Structure formats: structure tokens, C-alpha cells
Amino acid sequence: MGDTGLHGFIDEVLGEGHLRVEEELGGGFVRLRTSEAERRQAQQDIRCVEDIVLELLRNARDAGARMICIATNRDGRMRNIVVIDDGEGIPPQMWQKVFEPRVTSKLDTFHADQWGVHGRGMALYSIACNAAEHRIAASGEGLGTSVAVSADTGNLPEKADQSTVPHLVVDATGRSVMRGPRNINRIVTEFTLAQRGSCAVYLGSPTEVLATLLAYGSRVLSAVERAFAPDAGAFPVCLRPALAATPEELAQTAHELGLELSTRSARRVMDGEIAPLEPFANAISLAGGKRAVAAHSRRPERRAVHIAPDDRVAFAQRVGAAYGPLAEAYYLDAQVQPEITVRRDGIRVFIPFAEQQGAADGEEVQGGMA
């Protein structure tokens, strides 16, 4: 009898209960197998959606993240959560294994904080045991990580009030005490205060988080890096949205990071209609309940600039004329049509490369110019 047949025979004869028990101790007592003990511990570690957010935040912190973005939205009963950080990252061959029990990169260290000990290799396993869906959307050694999780709130509850931002009040003893429901906002507030500025945390919708990453990448990367990046996958996860040249590319990049949104939403982000998020620390209320900065506050928006269609056409023609000599020198087609996009922070010019007929043999031209 093969191993598969033997295991099936044992399961049938002994039943599931025996597979969970290592030793019968008598008097109704048993010693659980390690796997069963781990499964039960995982159910205790994650008892609500807010616990998932907390564990993902602690994971990002332990990976050395200085920037953590949390995108969350509700779709029917499903609560979707994506946490993107700029920490150490996870090699591709470990993307599945990190959700197994006792898998950790912290062999010699662990982190004890106000929520307990972290670094046992159980956080992602606990999430996997309780969430409807879980995956590493994007990561790599030294490139940061994007983790996407969906939880069925019919099985794993969350606070009904997810809009209230907690505030701090001073009690009779002079201590600052937090008030408000234990929702996602509160978890992020507690985590932000506990880190005391060691990392910046951002919380918003997928579209808002994408706008934040685009703005961040645009500040960090030069125009040349953004225009001529050979492989977006070689760049840190948090910088990849800034490499997109079109709304379609931006929507695809967002999808690869676990952020599900439409091309129309991506266009709004590129056009500056969705402002980047401020660090969540700015949303924390002052003592006495007066809000320091409104939740998810935005930077003051620039006045939208509207350019008439005729002026856009004329400008594109002048850009095309200026591009002509360069195209000829590099065997490119000068007859391409430049794409002009007006954003709140400026005008974006995109000239697609097209190889000129009769270009040198073996010479390949790819990409585009911005």
C-alpha cells in the first residue's frame, strides 16, 4: 500500500480527532499535536479584521520599513486590505512559505511591544488561517513588500463604525487616554503613536494610496530614471507607480501591487485629481478631543489648469518638430504623435518610440520618452 493509500486508511479508521492528538493522557486530557496547537493559537491571535491590520503593521515594522501604506475598502461582506512597505522584502521563493507556521526571518531577534511578542513566525500564518484570501502581491530582497488580504466579515467581524478617528483626552490623573471604537483607524493610531516617528504610516482607499506612492516615487526618482527604466520589477515596490507613463500602465502597476482600481481612476490619479495622503500622525487628535488635522488630510490642492484643445494640438506639433532631429540621429520615426497630459502639478509630454524603416540591422529600440 502506498503512502497516500496508507494515510487515507488511517484517516478513515481513526477519524480526524486522532490526527489532532499526540497522546491520550487519561481523565479526558490529551496532548495536542503541534500542528493542531498552532492552528488553535492562530485563531486566538486573529479574532477580528482589526487584528489583521495590526499584525501586518507589526510585520512591516519588523522588516525595517520607514514608509507603510495601508489601502482598505469594503466590497459587500469582504474587507480588502493591502499593506505596502519599503522594508527588507521577501524573495519570490518564500512568498508562499511565509504563510506557514514558525517561518520567520528573525532567528536571533524578536520584538516585544505593547501587543506582546512578535517574531515567532506565526503572524502571517494566523492571517492565512482566518482570512478568505491572502498573498504576497509584490516583493523582492531589499525591494519592500505588498501584502494583499481579503476577510469575510461574516466569519471574521469588524467594528461597524469604521469612519470615526479616535481622539485623546486628559483624564483626572492628567494622563492622555484614547477614546473611540477599536476600528482600523484606532489600530493605526495606536501603532503610529507607539512608533514615535520611526516610520510614516498612510491610511486610505486604494486610489488614495496609489496617488501617495506616485507622488513619492516622482520625488525620489529622476525624470530620466522614470523614462528609461528597463524593468519596473527591479525597482522598490513603493517606487513602481512612478514608472508608469500612461493611465493604462498605472492601472496595471496598481493591480500588480494588489490595488484594484479602474483605468479611469488611474487617469484621475495621473491628472492630479486625487491628492496624496498626509502621514496618519497628522490625523491624531489633540488632548481634549480637538482634532489636530482632519483625517486623511490632503495638501492644499493646486488650481486646475485647463488648456484649450487647439493650444494642445499646437504645442504637440511644436514638440514633434523639436523631436525631429533627435529622431533622425537615432533612426527613430519622427512622425509619431506626442501625447500631452495636463496634470495639477504640470504638463506631461510622452513621445512613443517607433523604429524608423531602414534602421541599422540588429539595433532594437524599446520604451518611450517623457
Q: How far apart are the first and last CA of the chain?
A: 66
Helix (H, G, I), strand (E, B) or coil at 271: coil
Give the pairing of strands 67-75 and 200-204. parallel
* Mean pLDDT, rounded, of the chain: 81
The answer to the question of residue 300 being in a domain is no
330 lies in the same domain as 234: no
190 lies in the same domain as 260: yes
Domain total in the chain: 2
210 lies in the same domain as 329: no
The answer to the question of residue 23 being in a domain is no
277 lies in the same domain as 328: no
CA-to-CA distance for 37 and 22, rounded, in angstroms?
Answer: 11
* Domain that residue 332 falls in: 309-369
166 lies in the same domain as 224: yes
The answer to the question of residue 18 being in a domain is no
Give, for 351, the enclosing helix (H) or strand (E): strand 346-352
203 lies in the same domain as 334: no
Residue in 49, 107, 38 with CA at minimum distance from that of residue 83: 49
200 lies in the same domain as 112: yes
Please compute the mean of the pLDDT values over residues 93-101 and round it to a whole number: 89
Q: CA torsion 336→271→80→220, rounded to 10°?
A: 80
pLDDT at 232 over 70: yes
Helix (H, G, I), strand (E, B) or coil at 157: coil
What predicted TM-score, i.e. pTM, was given to this entire model?
A: 0.69
Beta-carbon contacts of 76 under 8 Å, excluding residues fewer than 6 positions away, are: none
Rg of the chain (C-alpha set): 26
209 lies in the same domain as 75: yes
CA-to-CA distance for 327 and 325, rounded, in angstroms?
Answer: 5
pLDDT in tens, 34-69: 776 666 565 557 899 999 999 999 999 999 999 999
pLDDT in tens, 144-198: 999 999 999 999 999 999 999 888 887 788 787 888 899 999 999 999 999 887 8
47 lies in the same domain as 166: yes
